[in-house]
Amino acid sequence: MKKVAFIFILFLASISFVNGQGRMGTPEERAQRQAAQLETRLKLSGDQKTKVYEILFNQAKTVDSLRKGGSDFQAMRPKLREMQEESNKKISDLLNEDQKKTYATYLEERRNRMQNGQGGQQRRRNNSGNQE
């Protein structure tokens, strides 16, 4: 009985691990998701969205290669921060003045979420507008 319970727990742990691995998605998926979010928030033109996607995709690929390199997070943190700031500047350079103001607000909100332990994930809203 103990062996069965142990195998069952091991099975559940492996499923949780596999699900957690794909949670963030591929670099393409992450870049598409972020570009779509910025398109809506900043009212990007088609050309702007394409360029923003390219910036975000290149960043996501680099982040993945750093993660696969096996470095610990604390060691990667300065490099990740530098890459994020560089990407933010590239994106900002593509925007008009109104979009830049909205983008600055968006970045500040994201920083606040990160500091409050909510990470980069926004809470999903159900159809009635309530947070889940």
User: What pLDDT does residue 17 have?
Assistant: 45
Q: Which residue in this structure is represented by tokens 């926004």?
A: 122
Residue 89, amino acid: K
CA distance linking residue 89 with residue 14, whole number of Å: 40
Cα 8 → chain centroid: 33
Please report the pLDDT score of residue 79 as a whole number.
Answer: 87
Which long-range CB contacts under 8 A does 82-89 form with residues at least 24 apart? 83/59, 84/59, 87/55, 87/56, 87/59
CA dist 49 and 32 (Å) reads: 10
Token pair listed for 12? 């559940």
pLDDT in single tens digits along all 132 residues of the chain? 656 555 656 555 555 444 444 567 999 999 999 999 999 999 999 999 999 999 999 999 998 888 887 767 787 888 888 999 999 999 999 999 999 999 999 999 988 888 887 654 444 444 444 444
What single letter denotes the amino acid at residue 94? L
pTM for this entry:
0.69
Pair of tokens at residue 100:
């830049």
Q: What pLDDT, on the 0 to 100 scale, is given for residue 3?
A: 63
The pLDDT of residue 132: 41
